[in-house]
Amino acid sequence: MRLLQFSTSHYCRKVRLALGYKGISYEVENLTPGAHRFKLNPLVGLTTVPVLLPQSPEAPVAVGDSTEILRFLEVYYPEPSWAFGEPQGDRRAWLLEDWLDESIGTATRFLYYDFRAKEGQSVNPSWFAQTLVKVVRFQYDMSPARVDLARQRLDFALRELGEVWQGSPYLVGDRLSVADITAAGLLSPLALIPQYRQDYPWLFERIGQIHRHCQEPLPPGLTL
Ligand SMILES: N[C@@H](CCC(=O)N[C@@H](CS)C(=O)NCC(=O)O)C(=O)O
C-alpha cells in the first residue's frame, strides 16, 4: 500500500492515523506541491492529497479524499474496527467526521498559515518555506476577515469538542472512532500556536493519546 501525500498536510496525518489504527503497513510518497496535480488528477480526478494506492488485486487502483480512504479501510480492513455495530453511534461518528473534515480542517488551515506568516515565521524562516506560506495564503484567499471567521468557527468547535473530550477519551461512545481520528489529525497544526496550547491543554493531551494509540509520531510542537 502506498500513500501519496504532502508530509505537512493535516489531512494526510488523519489518514496515517487511520492506517496506524488498523495496523496496516504502507509506504509514503511525498509529492511536490504544484506538480502534485499532474499525478493525482489522472488517478482520482481530484487534485488534493491524500490519495491511497492499495496495490491489491481486489481493491481499486486509487482512492482519493481522506473520508473515502477511511471508508475504504473499514470495508477492506475491518479489523480492528472503529465501527460501533449499531447505527446511532456510527451515524454520530461519521457526522462529526464530515463536519471536522469540511469545516474545521479548513479553519485550522487558516489559523495555522496566518500564524506561520506572522509570529510563527521562526517555525521555518527559509525562503522556500515562507514562499510556500504565501502561496497557500493566496490560494485559499486568506484575507483578515476570512481568518477572523475561521477563528470564530474554531473557537466554537473547540468549545463543543471540549464538552466531550474533557470528560471522556472518546467523542462518541466508549471507543476510538473516525471522529477522534479525524479531530486528532485535523487539529494537530494548532500544537505549534502558543495561544491554543495555553487555552486548550486538554486538546493536546487527547491528540497525543490518539497518536500513541495509532502509533503515529507526534505532530510538530508536541513531545513525549
Ligand atoms: N477534503 C479533502 C481535503 C484535502 C486537502 O485539502 N488537501 C490539501 C493539503 S492539506 C491539498 O492537497 N491541497 C493542494 C491543492 O488543493 O491543490 C480530503 O479530506 O482529502
User: Which atom of ligand 1 lies closest to the CA of 48?
Assistant: 12
What are 90-103's pLDDT values in tens digits? 999 999 999 999 99
* pTM reported for the whole predicted model: 0.97
User: Which atom of ligand 1 lies closest to the CA of 6?
Assistant: 9
Residue with CA nearest ligand 1 atom 13: 48
Separation in Å, CA 98 to CA 79, 93, 116, 178: 22, 9, 26, 10
Beta carbon of 11 within 6 Å of any ligand 1 atom? yes
What are 124-174's pLDDT values in tens digits? 999 999 999 999 999 999 999 999 999 999 999 999 999 999 999 999 999
What are 5-41's pLDDT values in tens digits? 999 999 999 999 999 999 999 999 999 999 999 999 9
Q: Which of 73, 3, 7, 16 is nearest to 43 (CA)?
A: 3
Contact present, 1 and 24 (Cβ < 8 Å): yes
User: Which atom of ligand 1 lies closest to the CA of 69?
Assistant: 20
